Structure 1
Amino acid sequence: MTMPNTSLLPLPFILLAVLLSGCQSKLRTATTGAGAQLPMQTEQQVSKEVQHLRQCQQELKALNTLQAASYPALQRTFEQLMRGAAQYAVLRTNVNENTQDTVDSLYRYRVNLLCAQINQAVLNRLAEQGGTAQ
């Protein structure tokens, strides 16, 4: 299986994408360059999650241009989430399957919530700009 081109993404970003793509402890594992064991996912699943995270990051950058006041807090939250995912990925195989399922779901929820908040902020700002341009 070949992996999608992720050379431009930092390791935490890739780790989180792998975690979000439906981790199951019964799957085979692969070792990252950092020594963390990750479940093997299909190329399509990982690619989809990488694209989702890239889009979220792009919208966050757009928000910096559109509404710089709300950017720093969301950027900090995004970076903290990436760091937490990297730490979790290293420790994941040391905890039981139930804990893995729970924490995997937690990260999936937190990423989806944060990305929805970023998307909503961008949409609201663009709509505000569109309303004043008339």
Structure 2
Amino acid sequence: MLLCSGLLLAGCQNSQKNSKAQTVRQEQAPVTATIQPPPQQISVSPPPAPPETKTNKLGLCQSELASLKQIKPKAYAAKKAHFDRLLSNASVYSAVRSDVNLQTKDTLDALYKYKTNQLCADIEREVLQGLLQRGESVK
């Protein structure tokens, strides 16, 4: 045991001598500093948003639905009924959304987003076809 403690103390003294020697060497060595220029900052701005009077997709969809009423009244009646049902069902889901688990929320959020996008695309297509038919009928 005495031998082990002697070795430990000897090791501590050697490490202290080594650290003192390194400190002396570091003090004697010339210090050279390099100054680096600050990194160049690049400002990135988002692309300008396209000018739209209706930024809300649902608002744009409702607006096109209103246009469809003048262009194709029969198609408007069917799309309006579908639109109202979708909004009614989404309203019920919205009322209970906070009470359902995360997986159900993810699934139904995706479902209503899909159904809304699908209906709005159908309305947009009907408007375009109706306007094209009217334009083609002019001679």
Flag structure 1 segments of 5+ consecutive residues without an equivalent.
Answer: 1-48
Aligned residue number for residue 112 of structure 1: 117
Q: Root-mean-square deviation (CA), in Å? A: 1.4
* Partner deviation per Cα, 1:46-92 (whole Å, 9 max, x = no partner): xxx97111110011111110010111111011011111111111101
- The 1:50/1:81 distance shift into structure 2, 3 A limit, reads farther
Structure number with higher helix proportion: 2
Structure number having the greater strand percentage: 1
Query: Once the two structures are aligned, what percentage of the paired residues are identical?
Result: 36
1:72 aligned to which of 50, 72, 77: 77
CA change 1:79–1:50 in 2 (3 A) is farther
Which fold has the larger relative contact order, with Cα–Cα distance below 8 Å and residues 6 or more apart in sequence? 1
Distance 2:55 2:96 in 1: 21
Alignment of 1:79-98 (within 5 A): 79-98=84-103
Count of residue correspondences: 86
State the distance in 1 between where 2:123 and 2:74 align: 13
Larger Rg: 2
Gaps of 5+ in 2: 1-53
**TM-score, normalised via structure 2 length:** 0.59
What is the alpha-carbon distance in structure 1 between the residues aligned to residue 82 and residue 63 of structure 2? Answer: 15
Residue 128 of structure 2 aligns with which residue? 123
**Structure 1 counterpart of 2:65:** 60
Amino acid at match of 1:77: H
Task: Give the Cα separation in 2 of the matches to 1:99 and 1:91.
Answer: 11
